[in-house]
Amino acid sequence: MKKAYFFDMDGTLYNRKNHTVSLKTCLALQKLKDQGHFVGLCTSRCFQELQHLPSYIRNFSFDTMILDGGSFILDSNQNVLYKNPIDLKLMEKVNEYCLKHHILYRYSTSDQNYWGNIPNLQLHQVWMNLYLCTPVYKRYEKEEVLNLLIMTRELEHLNYFKDLFDHKGIVQCPDCIEIRSDGLDKAKAIQRIKEKENFDSVICFGDGENDIQMLKMADTGIAMGNALDIVKEQADLVIGSIEMDSIYQYVFKED
């Protein structure tokens, strides 16, 4: 029976507190590969934000990498399988509105990561602490944008963007909103891969609110012990936290 395993990155594979991926977690991934299963990465990180991960996870031979929350899919050789950028006219409206209201936003392309306006030093440092890299400042110039993060919590601004995108492809985060094209999410991206590969079953691991849909669509949706409560409520199974090598324990227990 061919199974597909899809893993979120931050808080699931990657511990941002100490910027590591447990070697036991890597052993678990390799075991799944050795057993002939399909192993995929499914993250909201853009391609550029993968470059500062530990080498042993950066060089792991994922069968697919779903990036930008589902807008960008690469095969095992990092060839593009699918790309769906945000509509150009909508992106121009985002840029105009953010510049007018002095709202910081970040936009990612297939190979780069940018601030659309100049960040403050505090946010720049926060980003560095999370990803060990930061976007570079570059005014938007009609690039193909795959994922947006808009740094606002003000209701007026939130409502504007939700209306602009017809409430599709938007994930509410504590300090920002994440936006993708055409209501795309991780679940839809996995479904696209599933139709191509014809798996017998899909198992997904995640911890964040943007993982909920993929956990719900999976045959087995697994939430990490460090996941948000709302994520755990939607999962079929809750395992231990990332600090407990819980993915390793789950995979080796399956024997």
Q: Could you report the per-residue pLDDT of 155-201, keeping only the tens digit for each? A: 999 999 999 999 888 888 888 999 999 889 999 999 999 998 989 99
- Give whole-number Cα distances, 102 to 94, 95, 156, 172, in Å: 12, 10, 14, 20
For the stretch 69-110, pLDDT in tens is 999 999 999 999 999 999 999 999 999 999 999 999 999 999
Alpha-carbon span 58 to 70, nearest angstrom? 19
pLDDT in tens, 34-51: 999 999 999 999 999 999
Pairing mode, strands 38-42 and 237-238 = unpaired
φ, ψ for residue 69 (rounded to 5)?
70, 15
Beta strands in the chain (DSSP E): 3-7, 38-42, 64-67, 72-75, 80-83, 105-108, 113-115, 136-137, 147-150, 170-172, 177-179, 201-206, 220-223, 237-238
β-strand partners of 41: 7, 65
- For the chain, give me the number of helices (H) and strands (E)? 9, 14
pTM of the model: 0.94
Helix (H, G, I), strand (E, B) or coil at 164: helix
pLDDT digits (tens, 9 = 90+) for 214-228: 999 999 999 999 999
**Whether the predicted pLDDT of 147 surpasses 80:** yes
Whose structure tokens read 């042993």?
Answer: 56
Average pLDDT along the chain: 94
Q: Within 10 A of 150 (CB to CB), how many other CB atoms are there?
A: 23
Task: Give CA–CA dist 27/29, Å, rounded.
Answer: 5
**181 within 8 A of 86, measured Cβ to Cβ:** yes
The predicted pLDDT at position 254 comes to 60
- DSSP code string of 177-244: EEE-GGG--HHHHHHHHHHHH--SEEEEEE-SGGGHHHHHHSSEEEE-TTS-HHHHHH-SEE---GGG
**Side chain identity at 87, as an amino acid letter?**
D
* Angle in degrees, CA 61, 224, 77, rounded to 5: 15
C-alpha distances in angstroms, 190 versus 8, 197, 201, 232? Answer: 12, 10, 12, 20
pLDDT for position 172: 85
Average pLDDT (141-166) is: 95
In the predicted model, is pLDDT for residue 255 greater than 80?
A: no
Q: Rounded to whole angstroms, what are the CA distances from 246 to 90, 100, 205, 223, 238?
A: 41, 46, 11, 10, 10
SS3 content of the chain, % helix, strand, coil (to 5): 40, 20, 40
